[in-house]
Chains A and B, each alone.
Chain A
């Protein structure tokens, strides 16, 4: 039941959003075609902008895996990680997630690329990447903008949200994709 509801949302979300946006836009007398082309121009920039981050992270993780270090790490950590059902490959993602959006996106791409298609770990990595924002980046930008240097409970609250996001991703991916 729960599974069906989520799958229906997934299936309909994009066509629904497109319909709402287009109907509301024509109601507001927006020149839809011209706006679309204007926005689409950014597609190239966004894709090209992530290349340096992708290269930096994919190279580091790729080298790390090729060296055999990841197997060693897996043997040490698997007793802990297996309790929550987290594959060891997803660990770098969990660590980098709160620090860098581009970095965690790159790690997710690596996990998806280096595992067979439709694998649980690929879905998990993609869900984890999407489930929370880059906590430290957001805090730095927004507190920095108004000169707040005592951040009180913002960091612990943000990290609690990150950990919960990871656990919720594990839970939902085990239901949907395992």
Chain B
């Protein structure tokens, strides 16, 4: 998909540029943008090093485990199909916490373990369960508490108080997470998405 979008941008730029008599500007923009990309990335190194250092301390102190314990009661309510002492709850909460802290390296293995735990409860292998869909909907909509890379970009551009982004991002992601939970809980009730739909389909094939 991204292949097509990228292709579209570049080809239409050259065609439009030629039609508008701006082909020189288009070429210059390509060179200019390529250099800007590197300047931007290099400018992020210091900030990223600082923040990843802090987050490494959080990881080594097992802060994820602590936060997970606090959020577990909410998780139990969101996944009614899963027994509250099942390991899946623990690994899901740990994954979401790691994501929020921006611990990408720790988050993905935890998420995959959560999916494996969920799959043990799956009666129809190959077909997503309600809990899996709920977990992924929350996962795709909730994000980093501190969008450090974006703050770095705003800082480099000279924005006043770039940390103002934190409040805006928290608001937008809380709203999108609520929407995700409502959507996933309503959609799972639709006959269109019911599991029997897919098992019959499989039988017909």
Question: A residues engaging B (CB < 8 A)?
Answer: 5-7, 9-11, 13-14, 17-18, 20-22, 24-25, 27-28, 30, 32, 35-44, 46-48, 50-51, 54-69, 72, 92, 95-96, 99-100, 103, 105-106, 108-110, 112-113, 117-118, 122-123, 126-136, 138-139, 141-143, 145-154, 156-158, 160-162, 164-165, 168-169, 172-173, 176-177
Contacts and interface: CB of A to CB of B under 8 A. Distances in A.
Given A66-B28, A138-B140, A148 B127 contact: yes
B1 interface: yes
7 contacts: A22-B57, A42-B52, A59-B10, A62-B32, A118-B160, A141-B108, A157-B180
Interface of B: 1-2, 5-6, 9-10, 12-17, 20, 22, 25-26, 28-30, 32-34, 36-38, 40-42, 44-63, 66, 99, 108, 111-112, 115-116, 118-119, 125-128, 132-133, 136-137, 139-147, 149-151, 153-154, 157-161, 163-173, 175-177, 179-180, 183-184, 187-188, 190, 193, 195, 198
Contacts of B52: 39-40, 42-43, 46
Given A10-B165, A25-B60, A122-B157, A161 B176 contact: yes
B112 A145 contact: yes
Contacts of B53: 35-40, 43
Contacts of A103: 2
Contacts of B111: 138, 141-142
Looking at chain B's contact residues, the main secondary structure is: helix
A176 B168 contact: yes
A169 B166 contact: no
Contacts of A42: 48-49, 52, 56
A36 B13 CA distance: 45
A24 B63 contact: yes
B33 A110 contact: yes
Contacts of A30: 57, 60-61
Given A66-B17, A68-B17, A158-B137, A131 B184 contact: no
B149 to A, nearest CB: 7
